[in-house]
Amino acid sequence: MTVMEQRGAYRPSPPPAWQPRTDPAPLLPDTEPYRVLGTPAAAGTDPGLLRLLYAQLVRGRRYNTQATALTKQGRLAVYPSSTGQEACEIAAALALQDRDWLFPSYRDTLAVIARGVDPVEALTLLRGDWHTGYDPREHRVAPLSTPLATQLPHAVGLARAARLKGDDVVALALVGDGGSSEGDFHEALNFAAVWQAPVVFLVQNNGFAISVPLAKQTAAPSLAHKAVGYGMPGRLVDGNDAPAVYEVLSAAVAHARAGGGPTLVEAVTYRVDAHTNADDASRYRDDAEVRTWREHDPVLLLEHELTGRGLLDDDGMRAARDDAEAMAADLRDRMNRDPRLDPTDLFDHVYAEPTPQLREQRALLLAELEAEHEGHAGHEGQAGHAAGTGGTGEGGPR
């Protein structure tokens, strides 16, 4: 007797009155990424917003190049550049209200500084100085998340807690296409939809999870289509079209704030630079592909729109570049100063009350540091004694 032949066994066929819990049609994304630039919709976009987006994109591009240079100079341990993806990050930050929360991944430093975090503090983690270099509560920006997609359940938890407390708060979580293959991605979207939590998920599909192309990660028509399986709307947008990303995210944030629940947004973009300074992108993609995407550069697309409509002239472009250069010079100057670090800070802010294991580890570290200091001091004393007695034939009396 098989399991299905047993008395009372579950029959997979639905009862006659079965109906889908959610109509999938309204949840499906558009067949093509939504665009504003180069379409009639551009004429209805606020010129002030377009100029603000442009200034932030120019600033973000310069930040990427300066941070990459600092990595080559040994001032940063690693830097995952977001060159080519600036429109996604800037739009994400601008779509939020001050009371909202941003949950970034390790590549989203531009979104972090666009929220008001100090540019140097945003690099503290990547410098290796601290777990995170800024107070998350000050600007409502969670720490940069290096593990893939672990920030997504955190965003859902905060959004759910805010709704239970009656706070008018939305969480926006950023993740890459590689992160969409993680279990945390599934768990976060599932809980968000079940709870109807006020959270927006922005997947920056830049084509590769390090060296793994999207086609080897998923067979879905798009990452936005994954939303339907969880019971939330999916949106597909051109990730290099800054006003389009801003419009889609703003609508998703407003939808969540009004009690409509979560939205999954896929922004189709491209990582022009290597994954990090430790990556050789030439091993898995060719220059022709990169050149094609450079022609769809987010900064140039917006600049073309603004100049074509007479909303930006040479003086305006020069002002944006000068502001970006001033930011880069300040970043350079401050990053070239050696920080004073206390290794015991590693044990702070892990728990409200340190555990016995943490206290033991802290004591061990202090003992090692003291022994190292005494050894160094003893070595210097021996060297000084040798110099004072003329051990080299140079330091004694003549």
Please state, in angstroms and rounded to a whole number, the distance separating the CA atoms of residues 86 and 93: 11
Closest alpha carbon to 150 in 116, 93, 188, 112: 188
| Residue corresponding to tokens 């040798």 | 386
State both tokens at 205.
Answer: 């599909």
The C-alpha angle 26, 27, 31, rounded to 5 degrees, equals: 90
Q: How far apart are CA 190 and CA 227, in angstroms?
A: 9
Helix (H) / strand (E) containing 175: strand 171-176
Q: How far is CA 15 from CA 7, 89, 103, in A?
A: 18, 47, 42
Tokens of 160: 């759910």
Q: Which of these is catalytic: 99, 131, 284, 373? A: 284
- Contact call for residues 289 and 208 (beta carbons, < 8 A): no
Q: How far is it, in rounded angstroms, from Cα 185 to Cα 87?
A: 23
Q: Which two tokens stand for residue 325?
A: 């250069």
**271 assigned to active site:** yes
| In contact, 232 and 193? CB cutoff 8 Å | yes
Radius of gyration of the CA atoms of the chain, in A: 26
Helices in 210-297 by DSSP H: which ranges? 226-230, 242-257, 287-294
**Distance (Å, rounded) from C-alpha 184 to C-alpha 398?**
75
Q: Which residues, listed in sequence order, are joined to residue 173 by a DSSP beta bridge? A: 103, 201
CB contact at 8 A, 34 and 238: yes
Q: Do 138 and 122 form a contact (C-beta atoms < 8 A)? A: no
Can you tell me which residue has the tokens 């070239």?
A: 336
Dist. CA 165–CA 158, nearest whole Å: 11
**How buried is residue 351: exposed, middle or buried, by Cβ count under 10 Å (0-12/13-18/19+)?**
exposed
Give the separation between CA 27 and CA 37, rounded to whole angstroms: 25
Cite the active site residues. 271, 275, 284
